[in-house]
A and B are shown apart, each in its own frame.
Chain A
């Protein structure tokens, strides 16, 4: 249709009055009163929504109405990324064939899966076999629209909880962050095995002895291993982002940090990186002084050099 305003409309003034008869009428009456019913056929099947005839063979149905649902199963669905004005929901939703428990046929209705942006792809939880229930309108008038839509059964809840603390960093970490506040990476060398630990811990986890010999290492290092993350993180510049274990030059223990400034699919084991510091005036005693590690224009370190640090 042309995008200009229509110059003709087809409409029956005041709407078209239809009599519904005893079968459809019973269904609509029960609907108004908040119940879903089907009609039993001579062969014993339950047809929902009820028709005066058995859709299988056209024979007249019995006068027996059976309450069905409210639990229902989705038998097929289609996903509407851009609803039309005539649609019951004005944000992306599904049309579904929905079979109430106790019924042998399905009814068509809208299925509301929550808030989506226009054009959204079908959500993963939308599946044939999904369990749903009707959402009733509070004011009902005896039409199929007395059910506003169907909604999925509750399968998950969002548990938002907050507990508050005052955590001391501990002496070792406090000393390490003092260094960071000055733009320096501080470690401890173990007096027994000679390994350098950055951040410093005040003890050697290998030998189980206290450590005191402070060593400063450079802010350059090597990626030993890494992960590509697809869940947003406020510290990362974008999704996907890379978190990596970085072996600082002069340290014997790799440290977890972000890697950026390079596409996620180009990060490699053995890649050389340098800390990307925020402007000095923003520094405090916090790891936030370092935005992330960015690639250095140096050849990769061979695997043999990092294999003992994985």
Chain B
């Protein structure tokens, strides 16, 4: 079943708590995507969020208030970035008995200590008891990558500078200054600008199948391939200098000839690892939105990559684009989605 992204909406992301609850943050985004797509009841609804961000079990259930779930709707949730919710919705659409799906993700990482909340996703036997935070682990991968590739810290700076400049031109991303290379390390070899900022935000996408997509959208972004693969969880059991799972997902999807790539790189070295894994030639425009280094509303960031890549097709500026999303420590799991105009 041919399936397309027909509408994409995101919040104006913020670097601090603006006093809204997660549901309040999400509600206007859902309202806008319904209005933009012209659909208010969907064949399937799927969301991605993380209860640990608010420290409350089943907190995602409250978000359904923003969707309107009465009379009862067909609904599911993943405790992952909403890019995986989109994958589930895409699979659901392959059954052929429905032709629309709503996907959304949201996260307020301002409410706790995100670097330590991410420690909770680690294996509870060997890793979590040591208390390694997200940035420390990413820095281990950065060190391994720099040493094996010969790249320098200046190459990381260049990624951060380009991402922040693009983010300043994106009304939804944060307004971050040019990186200052004289600041000290956050965790060596990473400096603060190499690390995606704490961000609150939400995003939503409407998927539609076949002719319904053509009715709802002038230039649907047809999903030509979508796949996700995983590496071993133990960092010491895999080669951190490469992303084999991203390369495998890309090989299965077929990523040749893309003009734009939106990559879920939460640390500047991750972009370099992903470029290599996905085999992106130099001419491909990477993260024209600024990417996660310019706005990282956790649990929506990966979905936003799909939305931004689809938006380039919607507005006619590209005909074939790639979106990538990741989950787990140090790019453990990777999703690749390639979209095309008609």
Q: Which of A125-162 contact B (CB under 8 A)?
A: 128, 143-145
Residues on B with C-beta less than 8 A from A97 are: 140, 144, 235-236, 240
A96-B111 Cα distance, complex, nearest whole Å: 29
CA distance A214 to B184 in the complex (A): 59
In the bound complex, how far is the Cα of B140 from the Cα of A218, in angstroms?
62
* Of the residues A2, A51, A56, A95, contact of B137 by C-beta under 8 Å: A95
Interface string of B84-125 (1 = CB under 8 A from A): 000000000000000000000000001111011001000011
* A145: nearest chain-B partner, CB-CB: B129
Q: Are A78 and B190 in contact, CB atoms less than 8 angstroms apart? A: yes
How far apart sit A274 and B112, CA to CA, in the bound complex (Å)? 63
Q: Which listed residue, B55, B133, B185, B190, touches A10 by the CB 8 Å rule?
A: B55
CB distance from B55 to the nearest CB of A (A): 4
Residues B132 and A108 in contact, CB atoms below 8 Å apart: yes
Residue among B115, B138, B236 making CB contact with A99, cutoff 8 Å: B236
Task: Verify A49–B140 contact, CB threshold 8 A.
Answer: no
Q: Known contacts A122-B188, A143-B129; is A80 also within 8 Å of B141 by CB?
A: no
Q: Is the CB of B113 within 8 A of A1?
A: yes
Chain A residues lying within 8 Å of B285, measured Cβ to Cβ, are none
Determine if B126 and A144 form an interchain contact, defined as CB atoms under 8 angstroms apart.
Answer: yes
Chain A positions within 8 Å of B225 at CB level: none
Chain B residues lying within 8 Å of A108, measured Cβ to Cβ, are 126-127, 130, 132, 137, 140, 234-236
B residues less than 8 Å from A56 (CB atoms): 232
A residues near B235, Cβ cutoff 8 Å: 97, 106, 108
* In contact, B188 and A144 (Cβ under 8 angstroms): no
Q: Is B180 an interface residue (CB 8 A)?
A: no
CB-nearest residue of chain A relative to B124?
A18
The docked-state distance in angstroms from the alpha carbon of A123 to that of B198 is: 29
Name the residue in A8, A78, A79, A144 with the highest tally of chain B Cβ atoms < 10 Å from its Cβ. A78
Report if B61 contacts A (CB, 8 A).
no
Which of B112, B132, B144 gathers the greatest number of chain A CB atoms within 10 Å? B132
B237 within 8 A of A: yes
Asked if B315 lies at the interface with its beta carbon under 8 angstroms from chain A, I say no
A105 lies within 8 A of B136 (CB): no
Could you tell me the distance between the alpha carbons of A170 and B126 in the complex, rounded to whole angstroms? 69
B234 near A88 with CB under 8 A, answer no
Contact A77 B124 (CB under 8 A): no
Q: How large is the interface on B (under 10, 10 to 19, 20 to 34, 35 or more residues)?
A: 35 or more
Q: Are A86 and B119 in contact (CB under 8 A)?
A: yes
Interface membership of B143, Cβ < 8 A: yes
**A residues in contact with B132, CB < 8 Å:** 87, 95, 108
Residues from chain B with a CB closer than 8 A to the CB of A212 are none
Interface string of A5-35 (1 = CB under 8 A from B): 0101110000010101000100010000000
Interface residue tally for chain A (C-beta within 8 Å):
46
From known contacts A1-B110, A2-B17, A144-B129, infer whether A95 and B139 are also in contact, taking CB-CB under 8 Å.
Answer: yes
Q: Which residues of A contact B116 (CB under 8 A)?
A: 84, 86
A residues within 8 A CB of B190? 78
| Interface check B279, CB cutoff 8 A | no
Q: Tell whether A62 is near chain B: CB-to-CB under 8 Å.
A: no
A80 CA to B138 CA, complexed, in Å: 12
B70-88 contacts to A, CB under 8 A, are none
Q: Which residue of A lies closest to B138 (CB)?
A: A78
Task: Please determine whether A20 and B187 come into contact, CB atoms closer than 8 angstroms.
Answer: no
Q: Would you call B240 and A81 a contact (CB within 8 A)? A: no
Residues of B within 8 A of A105 (CB): 234, 236-237
CB distance from A73 to the nearest CB of B (A): 11
A residues in contact with B212, CB < 8 Å: none
B-chain residues with CB within 8 Å of residue A2 when the two chains form the complex = 17, 110
Q: Contacts of B143 on A, CB cut-off 8 Å?
A: 76-78, 128
CA distance A86 to B130 in the complex (A): 8
Chain B nearest CB from A112 CB (Å) reads 13
- CB-CB under 8 A from A95, the residues of chain B are 132, 136-137, 139-140, 187
Inter-subunit contact A145/B130 (CB<8 Å): yes
Distance from B239 Cβ to chain A, minimum over Cβ atoms (Å): 10
A110 within 8 A of B: yes
CA distance A119 to B125 in the complex (A): 30
User: A81 contacts B187, CB within 8 Å?
Assistant: yes
Docked pose: A89 CA to B90 CA in angstroms: 46
Q: How far is the CB of B244 from chain A (nearest CB, A)?
A: 11
CB-defined contacts of B110 to chain A, threshold 8 Å: 1-2
The 7 closest A-B pairs by CB, nearest first: A106-B236, A78-B139, A79-B188, A55-B232, A10-B55, A76-B144, A86-B131
Pairs A–B under 8 Å by Cβ, sample size 23: A1-B110, A51-B237, A55-B238, A75-B236, A76-B143, A76-B240, A78-B136, A78-B140, A78-B187, A79-B139, A79-B188, A79-B189, A80-B136, A84-B116, A86-B116, A95-B137, A106-B237, A107-B236, A108-B132, A108-B137, A121-B184, A144-B127, A144-B129
Which residues of chain A have a CB within 8 Å of any CB of chain B?
1-2, 6, 8-10, 16, 18, 20, 24, 28, 47-49, 51, 55-56, 75-81, 84, 86-88, 95-99, 105-110, 119, 121-122, 128, 143-145
